[in-house]
Structure 1
Amino acid sequence: MTDIERLVRQEWAAVDGDRRITVVDPADGRELFAAPVSAPTEVEAAVHAARSAAATWARTPAAERAAAVHRAADAVAARADDLARLTTLEMGKPLGDARGGVDAGVGTLRQYAELGPVHRGRSLNGGIAATDLMVYEPRGVVAAITPWNDPVAVSCGLIGAALVTGNTVVYKPSERTPATGWLLARILSEHLPEGVLNLLLGAGETGSLLVGQPVDVVAHVGSTATGRAIARAAAGRPTKVLLENGGNDPLIVDADVDPEWAATQAALGSFANAGQICVAVERIYVHEAIAEPFLEALVAKAQALRTGPGLAPETQLGPLVDRRMRDHVHAHVEQALAGGAKLLVGGEVPPGPGSFYPATVLSGCNDDMAVMREETFGPVAPVAVVDTFDEALERACGGEYGLAATVLTRDLAHATRAWRELPAGTVKINNVFGGAPGGAAHPRRASGQGYGYGPELLDEMTQTKVVHLGTPPR
Structure 2
Amino acid sequence: MLSAVDARTLEITDPSSGEAVGTVAVATDAEAAEAVARALAAFPAWAATPPAERGLRLRAAAQALAARADEVAAMNTRETGKSAGDAAGGVEAAVNTLLQYAELGPVHRGRRLNGAWDAVDVATPQPRGVVLALTPWNDPVAVAAGLLGAAIVSGDTVVHKPSERCPHTGALLDEILAGALPEGVLVHVTGDGVTGAALAASPDLAVIAHVGSTATGRKLALVGAQNDVHVIRENGGNDPLVVDAGVDPVWAAGQAALGAFANAGQICTSVERIYVHRDVAQPFLSALVAEADAWTQRSGQPLVDERMRAAVAAQVDGAVAAGAELLTGGAVPEGPGSHYPCTVLSGVPEGAEVLTEETFGPVAPVVIVDDFEEGLRLAAADRYGLAATVLTPDMTHAHRAAALLPVGTVKVNAVFGGAPGGSAQPRGASGAGFGYGPELLDEMTTTTVVHFGLPGGRA
Q: TM over 0.5, yes or no?
A: yes
Q: Tell me the equivalent position of 2:256.
A: 266
Superposition deviation, residue 336 in structure 1:
0.1
TM-score by length of structure 1 reads: 0.94
Listed as ranges, the matches of 1:378-397 within 5 Å are: 378-397=361-380
Q: Distance in 1 between matches of 2:10 and 2:284?
A: 44
The counterpart of 1:346, out of the listed 319, 329, 350, is: 329
| Residues 65, 163 of structure 1: 8 Å contact kept | yes
Q: Tell me the equivalent position of 1:38.
A: 27
| Residues 58, 180 of structure 2: 8 Å contact kept | yes
The counterpart of 2:176, out of the listed 187, 191, 208, is: 187
Question: Within the alignment, does 1:305 sit opposite 2:288 as a pair?
Answer: no
The counterpart of 1:105, out of the listed 94, 119, 126, is: 94
Q: Distance in 1 between matches of 2:388 and 2:300?
A: 23
Listed as ranges, the matches of 1:265-304 within 5 Å are: 265-304=255-294
| Residues 131, 157 of structure 2: 8 Å contact kept | yes
Superposition deviation, residue 47 in structure 1:
0.6
Listed as ranges, the matches of 1:40-55 within 5 Å are: 40-55=29-44
Q: Tell me the equivalent position of 2:3.
A: none
Where 1:466 maps in the other structure, the secondary structure is: strand
Listed as ranges, the matches of 1:331-410 within 5 Å are: 331-410=314-393
Superposition deviation, residue 316 in structure 1:
2.4
Q: Distance in 2 between matches of 1:209 and 1:377?
A: 27
Where 1:147 maps in the other structure, the secondary structure is: coil
RMSD of aligned C-alpha atoms?
Answer: 1.1
Q: Distance in 2 between matches of 1:221 and 1:366?
A: 30
Query: Gaps (5+ residues) in structure 2?
Result: 1-5
Q: Tell me the equivalent position of 2:63.
A: 74
Superposition deviation, residue 236 in structure 1:
2.4
| Residues 272, 317 of structure 1: 8 Å contact kept | no
* Partner AA of 2:341 in structure 1: P
Q: Distance in 2 between matches of 1:282 and 1:304?
A: 19
The share of aligned pairs that are identical, in percent, is: 59
Q: Tell me the equivalent position of 1:322.
A: 305
Question: Within the alignment, does 1:128 sit opposite 2:114 as a pair?
Answer: no
Q: Distance in 1 between matches of 2:109 and 2:343?
A: 49
| Residues 373, 399 of structure 1: 8 Å contact kept | yes
Q: Tell me the equivalent position of 1:170.
A: 159
The counterpart of 2:438, out of the listed 455, 465, 468, is: 455
* Partner AA of 1:56 in structure 2: A
* Partner AA of 1:257 in structure 2: V
Question: Within the alignment, does 1:87 sit opposite 2:89 as a pair?
Answer: no
Question: Within the alignment, does 1:151 sit opposite 2:140 as a pair?
Answer: yes
Q: Tell me the equivalent position of 1:13.
A: none
Q: Distance in 1 between matches of 2:44 and 2:195?
A: 26
* Partner AA of 1:139 in structure 2: R
Q: Tell me the equivalent position of 2:210.
A: 220
Deviations 1:236-263 (A, max 9, x none): 2210000011200000000110000000
TM-score by length of structure 2 reads: 0.97
The counterpart of 1:202, out of the listed 191, 202, 214, is: 191
Where 2:227 maps in the other structure, the secondary structure is: coil
Where 1:46 maps in the other structure, the secondary structure is: helix
Superposition deviation, residue 391 in structure 1:
0.5
Query: Gaps (5+ residues) in structure 1?
Result: 1-16, 308-314
Q: Tell me the equivalent position of 1:310.
A: none
Where 1:407 maps in the other structure, the secondary structure is: strand
User: Residues 375, 30 of structure 1: CA spacing in aligned structure 2 closer, same or farther, 3 A cutoff?
Assistant: same
Deviations 1:137-184 (A, max 9, x none): 000000000000000000000000000000000000000010110010
| Residues 261, 295 of structure 2: 8 Å contact kept | no
User: Residues 393, 133 of structure 1: CA spacing in aligned structure 2 closer, same or farther, 3 A cutoff?
Assistant: same
Where 1:452 maps in the other structure, the secondary structure is: coil
* Partner AA of 2:170 in structure 1: G
Question: Within the alignment, does 1:412 sit opposite 2:395 as a pair?
Answer: yes
Q: Distance in 1 between matches of 2:148 and 2:140?
A: 12
- Which stretches of structure 1, 4 residues or more, deviate above 3 A after TM superposition? none
Q: Tell me the equivalent position of 2:52.
A: 63
| Residues 296, 341 of structure 2: 8 Å contact kept | no
The counterpart of 1:248, out of the listed 230, 238, 254, is: 238
* Most deviating of 117-126 and 151-160: 117-126
The counterpart of 1:464, out of the listed 432, 447, 454, is: 447
